[in-house]
Amino acid sequence: DMNRTFPDNVKFRKTADPCLQHSLYNILVAYGHHNKAVGYCQGMNFIAGYLLLITKSEEESFWLLDALIGRILPDYYSPAMLGLKTDQEVLGELVKMKVPAVAELMERHGVMWTLVVSRWFICLFIDILPVETVLRIWDCLFYEGSKIIFRVALTLIKQHQALILEATNFPDICEKFKQITKGTFVTECHTFMQKIFTDPGSLSMATVNKLRETCREKVLSQG
């Protein structure tokens, strides 16, 4: 995964001095020893790489990665990815509550949420939304916890409900979900961040955790 981590970024090229690939390797190896239950899981390279670009420090990136994986997003990067799978189901339940027409469309065409939002969750919107917007989301993620991911996802879906509902088949739905992460709505990061706290309405951690309990059981029952 090292060579596939931000290959277009000059700081990750092997010709760079210093080359951040080396620092990224050090962080991921150190984390694997630090948290043997997780070790290394795909997606962690992008998170750690992004943290390196921001902090320019192996140690700071390591501890921020530890906070994300150990405290804010538990079981997202474990071998079974139970937390990740659970939260994708939670998003589906929240969409039923807050944007029911989209939930009905997904159900009618048999589109599982994991097919359209898995990269949103596992990469925390890296390479999905513009850099400036992702950095603002991460600020809130560290400050307020994982419910921010749901706020961002719900805002994208709610703002583009009409566009999504134009879809008439499975591939079309997948294409619409790619389209809603582009354009001026997501590049205007200040306005976008204001929207994520207003558009989805009330969303407490108590609500999220209650849904997690139910969805976790569902995921476990599916094997």
7, 104, 207 from 47: Cα distances, Å: 14, 33, 27
Mean pLDDT of the chain: 93
Tokens of 117: 């939002």
Task: Provide CB contacts within 8 A for 223, sequence distance 6+.
Answer: none
CATH of 2-72, one of 1.10.8.270, 3.40.50.2300, 2.30.110.10, 3.30.930.10: 1.10.8.270
pLDDT value, residue 30: 96
What does the DSSP 8-state code read for residue 123? T
Superfamily of domain 82-222: Ypt/Rab-GAP domain of gyp1p, domain 3 (1.10.472.80)
Q: Does the pLDDT at position 2 exceed 80? A: no
d(CA 78, CA 206): 24
pTM for this prediction: 0.92
pLDDT value, residue 79: 83
d(CA 23, CA 104): 46
Percent residues over pLDDT 90 in the chain: 79
List b or e across 124-151, with b for residues whose CB sees 16 or more CB atoms inside 10 angstroms.
bbbebbbeebbebbbebbeeeebbbbbb
pLDDT in tens, 61-107: 999 999 999 899 988 988 889 999 999 999 999 999 999 999 999 99
pLDDT in tens, 8-28: 888 888 888 888 999 999 999
Q: If you average pLDDT over residues 106-114, what whole number do you get? A: 94
pLDDT in tens, 208-222: 999 999 999 999 998
The domain segmentation of the chain, as residue ranges, is 2-72, 82-222
pLDDT value, residue 222: 85
